[in-house]
Every structure is written in C-alpha cells, then in structure tokens.
Structure 1
Amino acid sequence: MTDSKYLTDRTALLLVDPYNDFMSEGGKLYDAIKETALAVGMFDHLREILGVVRALGIPVFILPHHRSKPNDFDGWRHVNPTQQLSKQWQVFAEGSWGGEWHPEFGPKSGDVIVHEHWAQSSFANTDLDAQLKQHGIERIILVGFVANTCIESTGRYGMEMGYHVTLVKDATAAFSHEAMHAAHEINGPSYAHAILTTEALLKALKE
C-alpha cells in the first residue's frame, strides 16, 4: 500500500508554465484560462500552496514551456497543430513580456528551473527526471497549466517513471470546463495517486 506521508525531503512541488502569457492580464493565453482559473480560485490557491510549501522547505521545481522563436520547427517532419499555433502566435516568445516569469508566481531563489519542454510532457527531452532523482524526490505535486495537457502528460510520465503523482484540481486551469472535468474526473484517476483540493493538500503536507 502507498505511504500517505508527504515527507518534506522526498516531496517536490512542480509548477508548470508560470509565464505572463498565462497568468497576467494582457497575456496571449490569459483570456483562454481566465474562466476556469477564476471558477476554482486558482490564483489564490497557488498563493496558499507556495506559501506553505516554501515555509516547510519543500523544493519548488519550475517546469517551463519552450519560449517561442520565429524559426521554431523549421525542417521538422511532424509538427502538431498546437505547435503550429504556438509558432504563429509566438506564445511565451523569447525576449517578450509574455515570455517572462509572472512576478509573483515565477521562480524564487533556490527553486530548480528545469529545461524547457517542446510540447506537453516536462519529462520528455528535459532534465526533470535527473533533477528530481538528484534531489531525492519521490513524490511530485503538479500545479499550473494546462490541466489536460502539460499537467496530465507530465503526471502520466511521472507515474510510469515510478513517482507518486498528486494533482491539485483547484490549483490549475484549462481552456474549458469540459477540459477540467476530463483532466480530473476521467483521465486523472488512471494515473494519479491522489487528486486533491488545495485544502486537502495543505492538511496532508502539515501532518
């Protein structure tokens, strides 16, 4: 049976894509996530979680998406529609305000910034697994964007790699309520070890 304890030296918070384009008004994707984010209180819950996690000494890992460049995917054989749109819109564009960290939720001193991921999984073609292992992490708590894509893909791969995976259903957002439902009620139970609210997570962290 899985141990229920979130030991501070074996647990990490994985915050995905804390960019201005997602989290700040005027960001290219802010309006797309705003409705679901506000519906679950995502911004306030992230504040609560980060405050408790940092106070407990639990490490925070920042999992950033690739910062767009005009020549992205040139010569690639298999560019998917989402990547094509990212190139067209220059989401999180390198050198732009949208590609900068959100001033409140971006990395702080001591956080681990993982290599940028090109698609959805923060494990694929990055140093995330190596960084987690070197820090002695066994449990990963996923928050940020987007619930049914990057969060799900990273969580699934993490489970396959032997990590205990926790989703926090009110500390994430998606582009629709249907996507949020799919992420937590349909797909999440197939790979996550725990799907919690912020309140339940913070209680478990403090036990």
Structure 2
Amino acid sequence: MADTAYPGGKTALLCIDPYNDFLAEGGKMWPALSAVATSVGLHANLYTVRAAARKAGMPIFILPHHRHHATDFQGWAQLTPSQAAAHQYQLFAEGTWGGEWYDGFGPETGDIVIKEHWGASSFANTDLDVQLRQHGITHVIFIGLIANTCIEASARYAAELGYHVTLVRDATAAMSTEAMHAAHEINGPTFAHALLTTTEVVGKLATEDSA
C-alpha cells in the first residue's frame, strides 16, 4: 500500500524460523524450498531487510519453531499433518546442525528471541504478544519461512490481535510456486495491511529513518 508508514519505536521486524534445516544447503527442507527460494532471491532479501531494520533502529524479534526431540508428541491426541511430518524428519532437532541458526540470521545483541512455537502460529502458546505489547509495538513486518504455513498463520493471528501487518513477498519462500501464489495473491490480501517487496520495504524504512 502506497500510504503504509512504519512509525519509529512502534515497528518491529519478525523473523520466523531462520534455521539451517530451512536455509542451508544440506538442510532437511532445503531441497523442497530451494527452487522458490532461489527464484525470489530469498537469502539476499533476508539480509537486506534485516540490515535496513537495524539501520532504522528497529527491534528484531526471532520467532523460532520448536526444536524437536525423539520423544516429542508422546501421548498427544491431535497432531496436525505438519507436526507429524516435522516429527518424522526431526526438523530442527535439538543439538543438531539443522536446529542451529543459519549463519548471519540468528539473534544479535538486543534482539528478542520468542519462546518456540509448536504449531504454525508464533503467537500460540508463546510470549510473542506480551513481548510486542511491552515494547510498544503496533506494526509488524514478517520475513522468514514458510510463506503459506508459519508466516501466514502468525500474520493472520497478528491481524486478529490488532497489529498492522506487512508481508514481504520475496523475503520468504514455500515448497511450490502455487503455495507462494496462494500466500500472497489469494490469502494475504484478506488480512495483511501491506504486501510489499524487499525494495519497497527498504525504501519505506529509509524514509522513516530520515524523517
């Protein structure tokens, strides 16, 4: 949206699941994500948005998925298909390389790491909402993975809670072009206040920073 503005002190960058298993060659999910990620220039755009946020003095929140253990979900009655698949492959397994932050995308001094989410939403059963509100945040910009699962679920929840929500089209990826299309052309416009490219977001942050 042309009139989207990001007020200083009230805007945060939310980076979801920046793990090796998603972003690194050799990561368990990289083969499924690589075609779309490469087509949009994912890594370069993630670096660019994060750098712009830091330059603007914007707080960065890291929203990590649960790091799996072999005994997770024992006794659970209602696993989602995604949870069952993640458990089967032990995505982001605790103590493994795949469960470590991708180089350059992990938390730095001053960044806020939210409690791990067990499902798709970074708000469900975590401290994300209270952390955002305690820091005076009203506007949130989502980057990371995956566009049609954790990004969408978290961003929808943010909108329901009254936050101004921005999706960055090319600072995320999905396992198919169809999933990306659904996330940004069909579902995103029903709840997000702005769907922007990395270039557009950086331009707006630079404008706010110089205001």
Q: Same fold (TM over 0.5)?
A: yes
Question: Under TM normalisation by the shorter chain, which class is it?
Answer: over 0.9
Q: Which amino acid aligns with 2:190?
A: S
Cα shift at 1:4: 2.9
What's 2:192 paired with? 192
Q: Which amino acid aligns with 1:46?
A: L
Deviations 1:188-207 (Å, cap 9, x if unpaired)?
A: 00000000001111111122
SS of the residue corresponding to residue 171 of structure 1 reads: strand
TM-score, normalised to structure 2, is 0.95
Cα shift at 1:103: 1.6
What's 2:142 paired with? 142
- 1:65-104 mapped onto 2 (5 Å cutoff): 65-104=65-104
| Unmatched segments (≥5 aa) in structure 1 | none
**Are the aligned partners of 2:4 and 2:194 in contact in 1 as well (CA < 8 Å)?**
no
Q: How many Å separate the matches in 2 of 1:39 and 1:133? A: 35
Q: How many Å separate the matches in 2 of 1:120 and 1:145? A: 10
What's 1:20 paired with? 20
Cα shift at 1:14: 0.3
Q: How many Å separate the matches in 2 of 1:80 and 1:199? A: 36
CA RMSD of aligned residues (A): 1.1
Deviations 1:19-59 (Å, cap 9, x if unpaired)?
A: 01011110101111111111011111111111111111100
Q: How many Å separate the matches in 2 of 1:4 and 1:22? A: 30
Cα shift at 1:168: 0.3
Question: Is the aligned partner of 1:32 residue 2:22?
Answer: no
- 1:158-197 mapped onto 2 (5 Å cutoff): 158-197=158-197
Q: How many Å separate the matches in 1 of 2:127 and 2:172? A: 23
Identity %: 56
* Count of residues in correspondence between the two structures: 206
TM-score, normalised to structure 1, is 0.97
Q: How many Å separate the matches in 2 of 1:48 and 1:73? A: 37
SS of the residue corresponding to residue 71 of structure 2 reads: coil
- 1:36-55 mapped onto 2 (5 Å cutoff): 36-55=36-55
* Stretches of 4+ aligned residues off by more than 3 angstroms: none
